[in-house]
Structures are given as structure tokens and as C-alpha cells.
Amino acid sequence: MSTDDAALWQEIESLLDAALDRAASQRQAYVHARTENNPELRKRVLALLAASDDAGDFMETGPADQASTTQTTASEEASGQIGPWRILELLGRGGMGEVYKAQRDDGAYHQTVALKLLRGDQDAMLSRFESERQILADLHHPGIARLIDGGLTPDGRPYMAMEYIDGQPLATWLHETRPSLERRLAVFLELCPAVSYAHSRLVVHRDIKPDNILVDRDGRPHLLDFGIAKLNPEALSANATQALATPNYAAPEQFSGETITTATDVYGLGATLYFLLCGRPPVDLDGLSLPRMLDRICHAQPKPPSMRVSGPAMAPLRGDLDAICDKALARDPQQRYASAQALADDLRRHLNKEPVQARAPRFSYRAGRLLRRHALAASAALAVLASLAIGLAATTWQAHQAALERDIARREAARLSTMRGSILRLFRSAASELDTDQLTARELFAQSAGNIERDFGNDPATAAALMQMLGELQLFTEDYAGARELLQRAQALPQDQIDAEVRASIDINLAHLAYRDGDYLRARQLYDQAVAVWQVAPQRYPSELIWAATLASQLARAQGHTAAAVEHLRDAAGRARAYWGEAHEETGIVLINLAVALYYDNRLAEALTACAEAWTVWQAIGKQNSPDALNLLANWGLFALRHGDPYEGEKRLAAALDLRTALYGASAAQATLMKNLGVAHRINGLRNAGMRLLEQGEWMAEKYAGAGGRLHASAVYALARALSEDGLIEEAQQRLRASLTQQTTTPTSWHHLNRALLARLSPDAASAEALFSTALQGLAASGDAALSQYADALALHATWLQEQGATAQALDVLDQAITHKTRARHAAHYEVLSMNRRKVDLLRAQGLGDAAQTLWQQSREQALGQLGPQHPISALFADPL
């Protein structure tokens, strides 16, 4: 929160508190008098004051008092007999009174009931209590605790005897029985008919929450406490009745003064479903002041339930169940399910593996073009110092397996054992010379490297081998500057005194660093030197040659030879299977690299096949939660989106985000995943969930990658595009302007695309033309690397031209966009299909009806074949021309 926002909230809270201290009739006048020169403050405080008035007694007694329960004995007032009922024990206390377990004691017949008694100091609640009693008298449903009897105590206090449910509150049942997801959903589905029945009798419960649901011994739910329910011949005004609902589960309209309808109970059901899925209420209000509490209730959109759990519990909630909760908990009642039955029907669709209505298209055709080409996520650092001994032991084992002769294996094992001891001694010595309380890996490496020449100055062979090992460890921990310095020092030692294989290892690691620096010629020279050593006895260096092929592939791709890059890794994959076998971690890594090479060669179907093969490896070896599996999932999701399968992309990206969060927490790489998954959500109809991820991803990209850089610019574009499509034009413009102002590097394709989007949103024609000109020139100069973004900028320009009335020019520019997007993707890709739908409209506007009909039919068949009839992109072609 900014300093200005914090100051505003302090003013709001101070003024609201002062107003609430006054009589209700004086509050509005007091606020008007205090805010003559601050209309914004007046507006905010009056709104919260109205919400506070609507909150009624909840704000007086507080949530803890109303929710409190106890198992003490009956109070003096209620001890003994009430009518024909003998009090047994106190079951609980609420805002209106007490509930007792009681037994019929007049000899007529045996019956146990829950007897609800209005407290003696609650005269103001009398009408509400009598209203509940009348409502229950008219309700007869197995899912609603029925009214059995009613009357007055000798001192005139009303009571009602209700069906006694031998069971547990929903929250207790959930905690103690630990039911499966399927069982939780089954209980919820049994609850919905009770609410539907109440609605059919014109009753709105208004306080559906876990505390008002009991699960009996047979696992059936029962709805309780109609104490604030109202008859609903049409609709209710929240201003006419006090909203005593528990705020964590209450609909926004119950505190904002808007109309109360059956949609309020749909929200309550959605909140209860949310609790059943993740064990938490949709809105957390703990520790909030009254103004912030009311503001959050009225304006916050709950996070998807899958984001409130961790580990294996996330995956089953992703997608349909997130979407169902998102729709049921929409702030706008009109956006919720039309009824409790409609909510239950959609949940059954999910259980039957049918498309759910919550994910049906709810946005214009422009949303289908949201996805953009994204950079591959970088793989994480894989090594830590504590694993050094294990890693060297594994190297000893591999050397033994690869050796052709037993004496070679013994010699290699002895050498590596000596190296291991030397490395550990170096680390111990370095650690003793540094402040271990503040010791970092980088300092340990630097101090150890400095000690090598001191301790091994007369032994260049050992010094070089140790420097090579430390340098490689620094590469793994992404300390590239430290690795380069150390490896170059090793290379400067007398080469004729260094083992050939150590020289080869130094050369290949320096080659990787040269590749990172963009010095491809130097990288190739070093690569050739290393491979020449290994090729002398290839049977002795199988793993070295396999990993060298990865670098060869990267160099080929960097120089535009994408087909050759694929062939290098196809050969490496064959070698890996022969050397390590199918179910081996190293084979899986080679397959991931092959998938990346295929992706860059635009062979997306083959790339997805390679991803599936790699995933089979991770499953076989039980490493589905490893950093390499994370890298695979992130790439797999991106490839699926690029190939035009947003459902598969969403599935893999969600799994990748879950895993990255569990492994590493917040980072720049997590920001990229949030952006990609947010885009996928919106393509698939999860607009609110997608927007939340895009907002989080943009914030995280700025924090961890820096404002104005390439990653932040791409996150801003995705967010601004979503904001503009939701009608939040001013906010989108602010984000885009800030991104361009913060630009700290040479403009990237994403900066140019942000400029094009800002032009599209600009109300000034001259300014828009200038922005488009700069953006399109920059993207055209970027060549094929920015082909997809260039197509998007052209499409934005076409839309702007159409709005200016230049239909013929818009059609020409859109044709260019489709041509470039088809080259970057393929003809049946959803981005191309979205552009085709816009072209259909332009063709018709130009009087070219036959061409429009042909394109519409062709695109419709492609959309149905690629995405299926339920996808939002297919819906663009649902209505015939």
C-alpha cells in the first residue's frame, strides 16, 4: 500500500469512528460537515457508514460472541421444565438466545429435540425469533431441521422445539473425519436441494455458513438457523433488515445496502463449498479494522481455493472447482449461478467429467487473442555445497561403469577420492578463515579458490583439477563471474602438465560461459577442443559427449540452424537411452532439451511428444517434484499454448506453478509462470482468476526482475491487455505509461508491443499514429524473433483503424497480422482463429459476404476440431452469419 493510501485510510477510520460515536440520526450531517472540502473522503465514509448500519447487531456483539458455543449445564432460567420439554444440557449460545437439548416429559411419547429459547434481555429480537418460528413451520424438507413445537415460558419468553440432529457442525466433521474430496462434494450436493426447497417456498436464508450446517451420523447435512431468514415475495432491501450474517461468509450486498435475493444464498453456498475445498472462508477478516473489513467484504474477490492449499491438494481443485467457486462468489449477483440448483448441476457436470458452465465463454472475441509468445523459463540452480560429497561419489560410480578396464576404474576412483578429500579440506580451511555466522556460498568458493594456488602451487595438475571442479560448482549455483575467473586461471596453468580430460572439462565449461555471453565463435572453438579429446576414446566418455551435444544444439540454434539443433539432440537422446537406459534422470533431461530444440524449430507436435516422454521418465523414477520436472512442466505448458491447446497448457502451467511455489517460493521465474497461467485462465474463460494471477505476476516481475526490463514489460502487457478487455482503460493506460517510463534497457519486443497497446487505447488520433509508427518499426526490425508480437501490434492497429472508419485499410493491415501470426504459430491456432473472426466482420463491412462466409465456415471447423465446442474461441463461431 502506498503512503497516500495509508494516509487516506487513517482519515477514513478516524472520521468513521467519530461518526459512529454519535446517534444514528446525527451521523450523516456530522460527516458532511467534516468533509466540505474533501468529496472523496465523504463518499468513502458515507458508504462505510451505510454498510455499518446494515451490519446491525453483528457490529455490536462481534463475531466471537455470536459464534460462541459451550457444553456447560443449562442456565438457571432454563433449568427444569419448559412446556412439555425437560432440559438436558446446553448445546450452544448465539446472538438471539440459547439452544438446549431437551426431551419430551409429559408421558405422551418419547422425543428428543433442540429447544431454542430467546434470552430474557433480547426483547429487540422478539420479532426476528417469531419470524424464524413461522418460517420453519412452513418448511418440511429432510435437509432442514423441522419445527416440532413452540410456546412461551412462564415468564413470557418464546421458545421453539426443533428436530434434534445427532451430528457435528460441518467444520468439526471436516476436521475430524478428514473426508475425501468426493465425499465433501457429495455432502455439499445433498445440501443444495434444501436451499432450493426454501427458495421455492419464497424463503431466503441469508446466513448459509459451516456453523449453520450439521452433518448427522449417516453423513447427511442439515441446514439450521433461519433466524435472519426472510420471506422473499420478490426481493429484500438490505436497508430494511439488519444483516446479521457472519461476515466471512456473507455476500457483498448484505453490507453494501443493495437488494437481497436468492443470489445471496447462492453466494453462501459458494462460500460453504469454498470452505469444504480448502478449509478456510473465502474472505479473511482477522485483525482488520471496521472500515477495512467492510471494504474487503464489499470489494475483494476471493482467491481460488486451489491457491489456499498446498501440495497434492492443489491439483484436483485447479480448473473446474476454482471456476465454480469463482462464479458462485462473484461480487455482482447477476454473475452468480441463477439458483442453488444451477450450482449443483454444474458441480455434477464436473464430477461426470462434462464441461462446466462456469468455464463457458463470458467475454468478447478480443479476449481470445490475449496470449502472446513467452520466453522459456530458466532452469533453477541444482547444486548446494552439502551435496558435494554425494555428487563426487556418483561421479566415481559413473567412471567405474564407463571404464573399459578394471585398472582404469581403480585409477579414476582413486583420483576422484583424492579430489573429494582435497575439496573438503579446502572448504574447511576457507570456512575457518571466514566469519561462519555470515558465510555465503560465494565467499566460500572465493576463499577456497584463493587457497588452491597456495596449497598446490607446485602441483599444476591437481590445482587445475580442483579449479575445474570448483568452477563447475559455481556454474551450477549461477555464479558465472566467479566460475569464469576460476576456470580462466586454470586454463592459464602450464597446459602440458594438466591431464587432457581436465583440460577438456575446463574448455567445455568455458564454452558454456562464452555461449551465455553471446560469443558463439569462441564457444565453438572451445567446444571443438573438448570434443576432440573425448572423441579419441568415445566409449570412455559417453556422458561427456552426450552433454556436449546439448551445447552444440544451443550454438546451432543461436546461429539460426534450428533443424541442425534438433539433430544434435536426437543423436544425444539415442546415446542417452543406450548408455543410461529409458528410466534414468539423465535421459529425461536430454529429452527436455530435445523438446526445447523442437519448439524452436516450430515442430510443436513433436515437442509435446518429447515432453510426454520425459514426463514418463520422471514418473518411472519418482521425481515428479524435482527441479528438472518443474522445468519440464513449465516448458510443456508453454508449448501446449503455442500449439493451440489452452486446456493442456493451463493444466501443465498450473502444476508447474504449484511445484515452483513449493520448491522455491517467490522469484522472477514464478512471475513468468503466473503470467502464463493467468493468460491461459482467461483464454479458457476464468477471467477473474486469470486477472488475479496477472496482477500478482506483474508485481512479482517488478520486484524480482526489476521495473522496466524485458520480463516486467511482458508482464505489464499481459495485465494491461486484460484490464483493457475488462473495460478498465485508465488503469491499463497507467500501467503501460509507467512501464515505458521505467524502461532501463534497449527497447525489447515487449516494450514495442506495450507502445502499440497504448496507441490502441489513446483517445488522441495523432498521438496514436505516432505510437503505432514507432512500435511497428521497432518490431519489424526485430525480425522473426518478434514475429508473433509484430502480428499482435498489427492486429491492434487494424482495430484502431476500423474504429477510425478506415475499414479497407484495417482489412489490409489485419491480413498482414494473420499472415505473420500464421507463420509464428499455425493456421488453426486460436490466436489466428480469433483474428479470422474479426476479418469476417471486416469482409462483411466491405460487402464481401461470400468471402466472409467461406472464412467463417473454415475457421469454425478448425476451432471445433482444435478446441472442442465448449471453448470460448469456438463460441465466436457459434452463431451463423
Cell numbers standing for residue 62: 462481534
Going by the DSSP 8-state scheme, the letter that residue 309 receives in this structure is S
Q: Residue 85: which region, alpha, beta or left (left: phi > 0; alpha: psi -120 to 50)? A: beta
The DSSP code sequence of 58-118 is HHHH-HHHHH-----PPPTTTSSEETTEEEEEEEEE-SSEEEEEEEE-SSS---EEEEEEE
Q: CA end-to-end span of the chain, whole Å? A: 49
Distance from C-alpha of 604 to C-alpha of 632, rounded to nearest angstrom: 15
Return the number of other C-beta atoms located less than 10 Å from residue 257's C-beta. Answer: 16
Contact 828, 865 (CB under 8 A): yes
Report the catalytic residues. Answer: 207
Cell numbers standing for residue 358: 462456469
Question: What is the total residue count of the chain?
Answer: 881
The DSSP code sequence of 359-414 is GS--S-GGGGG-----PPPPPPP---GGGHHHHHHHHHHHHHHH-SSHHHHHHHHH
Kindly list the distances between the CA atom of residue 848 and the CA atoms of 819, 840, 842, 855, in Å, as whole numbers in the listed order. 20, 9, 9, 11
Q: Look at residues 542, 623, 640 and name the one whose alpha carbon lies nearest to residue 589.
A: 623
- How, if at all, do strands 203-204 and 213-216 pair? unpaired
Contact 536, 561 (CB under 8 A): no
Distance from C-alpha of 168 to C-alpha of 97, rounded to nearest angstrom: 20
CA 592 to chain centre: 24
Contact 80, 124 (CB under 8 A): no
Handedness of CA 126, 132, 134, 136 (dihedral sign): negative
Q: Is 280 exposed, middle or buried (0-12, 13-18, 19+ CB in 10 A)?
A: middle
Report the 3 state secondary structure along 126-184.
HHHHHHHHHHHHCCCCCCECCEEEEEECCCCCEEEEEECCCEEEHHHHHHHHCCCHHHH
Distance from C-alpha of 695 to C-alpha of 717, rounded to nearest angstrom: 11
Kindly list the distances between the CA atom of residue 824 and the CA atoms of 95, 544, 601, 648, 772, in Å, as whole numbers in the listed order. 64, 35, 11, 20, 21
Return the number of other C-beta atoms located less than 10 Å from residue 388's C-beta. Answer: 17
- CB within 8 Å of 698: residues ≥ 6 apart: 671, 675, 712, 715, 716, 718, 719, 735
Residue environment code for 85-97, b if the CB has 16+ CB neighbours within 10 A, otherwise e: bbbbebbbbbbbb
Contact 617, 600 (CB under 8 A): no
Distance from C-alpha of 792 to C-alpha of 371, rounded to nearest angstrom: 10
The answer to the question of whether 209 is labelled as a binding residue is no
Distance from C-alpha of 705 to C-alpha of 720, rounded to nearest angstrom: 18
Distance from C-alpha of 273 to C-alpha of 170, rounded to nearest angstrom: 11
Residue 255 sits at the vertex; the CA angle it makes with 249 and 257, to the nearest 5 degrees, is 140
Q: Helix, strand, coil proportions of the chain in percent (round to 5)?
A: 65, 5, 25
Q: Look at residues 372, 365, 373 and name the one whose alpha carbon lies nearest to residue 871.
A: 365
Residues annotated in the binding site, as ranges?
116
Annotated binding-site ranges for ATP? 116
